[in-house]
Amino acid sequence: MNIVLDTGAVIASESNDRAFTALLLAAQKQRSRILLPATVVAESWRGPGTSPLVGRLLKTVDAFPHLDVSSAKRTGDLLAKSQTVSIVDGNVVEVALTHIPATIVTSDPNDIRHLLQSAGVSFDIFGGGQKLVDVLIVRI
């Protein structure tokens, strides 16, 4: 399983979110790979003012999928289908779709759900509404 973090998940790492700690430990036990799209890093990183916890979170990430021309086009296609404009949300979903089986960790499940539905992908929601961090499990 590949776990894709969005900006809300990164923010959760610096707030009092015990669900996020549990998620990291579960990922470790299951040998899941944690992916943090570079676009999410751009949205989360604010130079010297960034929380040290975020800096340390980056050291626990397996890979930072970057936005090259191909992934940018796939992201743009998703935004067109969903009629939305958030490049970061679109890229998070694009990264998940190119690394199936994948789980998206997000604090904004409605936008992610809309993108996945627009992409015609079937998915399950795990933990929706119970915690600060909701988890969407993408199944294809």
Smallest distance, other proteins to C-beta of residue 34, A: 8
60 binds other proteins per the rule CB under 8 A: yes
Q: From CA 39, how far away is CA 41, in angstroms rounded?
A: 5
Smallest distance, other proteins to C-beta of residue 5, A: 13
Q: Are 109 and 134 in contact (CB under 8 A)?
A: yes
Q: From CA 20, how far away is CA 69, in angstroms rounded?
A: 32
Q: From CA 137, how far away is CA 81, in angstroms rounded?
A: 20
Smallest distance, other proteins to C-beta of residue 48, A: 20
Beta bridge partners of 104: 4, 136
57 binds other proteins per the rule CB under 8 A: yes
DSSP letter (8 states) at residue 32: P
73 binds other proteins per the rule CB under 8 A: no
Residues that bind other proteins (CB under 8 A): 1, 3, 13, 16-30, 32, 34-35, 53, 56-57, 59-65, 98-99, 101, 103, 126-127, 131, 135, 137, 139
